[in-house]
Amino acid sequence: MNVTRDLFNEVMVPNYNPAAIIPVKGLGSRLWDQAGTEYIDFAGGIAVNVLGHCHPELVNTLKKQGETLWHLSNVLTNEPALRLAKELVNVTFAEKVYFANSGAEANEAALKLARRYALEKFSEEKNQIIAFKQGFHGRTFFTVTVGGQAAYSDGFGPKPGNIEHVEYNDLAALEALISDKTCAVMMEPLQGEGGIISPTNEFAKGVRALCDKHNALLIFDEVQTGVGRTGDLFAYMGLDVVPDILTSAKALGGGFPIGAMLTTTAIAEHLKVGTHGSTYGGNPLACAVAETVLKIVNTPEVLNGVKRKEQLYRSGLQAINQKYACFSEIRGKGLLIGAVLNEQYAGRARDFLVASADEQLMCLVAGANVIRFAPSLVIPDEDIQQGLVRFERAVAKVVNA
């Protein structure tokens, strides 16, 4: 069969608009398309390919597990799931783990647990969920409604109720809205899709304090920030704020689909047998791969390397900006970095993305005004440097057009 981009239009639902190129091979931080053209990958599958493409230890783990046990469903448990859960408990605040297939599913479980916890421990009236404008928590109807971008949730009929949004980093706005009827506050410890926005320390600690005051659960969506992305194993560790529930996905499987919800024993007990589930959640293949990812990432070598590589990106992007004056700010943390376009180039992030692809570099956007970089955490320094050379050529194309 001759597989081309046109075949997508013929057979796929049109909710995506993928690029014309079709990658067929990946190794480390490099990709090759059908024509053999090589690309440097600064996108990382949207912060997923935490160890790059086809990392040999992940490949070996998948092969080994694939020859023993693929799937059981949750009528039975399995060794990879239990080992992974034990390791997540060992390295975080959590005491209990629930496995799903994606970040949206992990967040769905977190939100359902928060509602159930409040209903059983307090009352039916304690059901308000507060989240933040420009937040993103997934594409199920519950999670997309909690996400603070109406464009993603409008147009599908009546939305789940009693969900409110306030501005990120505005503690006064949250304090004005939160009450004893609030069951949970959900936030990203660094907004990803919303523009790579970091919380102030005052804000993060203030959210925790307000949740404590009103007996509301604090849910940290670490789908994009977790598993080393910010230079800490999870971003909450760098904020010195401990959530009640944490969700993880994306990097957790290094490219193999898996999600996880982490919480305490006292909260977890409210998801009794039969209250929630997932056929594929805790799949042996996914859990075996994630166990290897966690083992590799949770080392001083990798986590300190993330912080050092962040500085390579920042200095490189600042040097580009000195020449072309197109960015107002370089922001983010670790290897989740945003180059914010200034007023002259406002709304044109996609132009820079397209120009980058033409220069054989894969990057992302975070809204119309931010170019996003979320590469492998172990991307070689020389790939960063060469990728920034390609990005500079893309910037020059847009600026000089």
Catalytically active residues are: 136, 221, 250
Residue 341 CA to residue 356 CA, distance in Å, equals 15
What type of residue is 277?
Answer: G
Binding residues for N(2)-acetyl-L-ornithine: 139, 278
- From residue 345, alpha-carbon distances to 150, 327, 342, 392 in Å are 24, 8, 6, 15
The residue assigned the tokens 């080994």 is 64
Could you tell me how many helices (H) and strands (E) the chain has, helices first? 15, 15
Helix, strand or coil, per DSSP, at residue 3:
coil
Edge to edge, the sheet with strand 163-166 lists: 96-100, 259-263, 245-248, 217-221, 182-187, 128-132, 163-166
User: Which is nearest to 227 in space by CA: 185, 195, 258, 201?
Assistant: 258
- φ/ψ (deg, to 5) at 332: 120, -170
Which residue type sits at 88?
A: L
The dihedral sign for the CA sequence 50, 56, 60, 63 = positive
Residue 336 to residues 6, 164, 227, 276: CA-CA distances in angstroms? Answer: 32, 27, 12, 32
Beta bridge partners of 131: 165
Annotated binding site for pyridoxal 5'-phosphate: 103-104, 136, 221-224, 279
Binding residues: 103-104, 136, 139, 221-224, 278-279
Give me the helices (H) in 12-102, please: 44-47, 56-66, 79-91
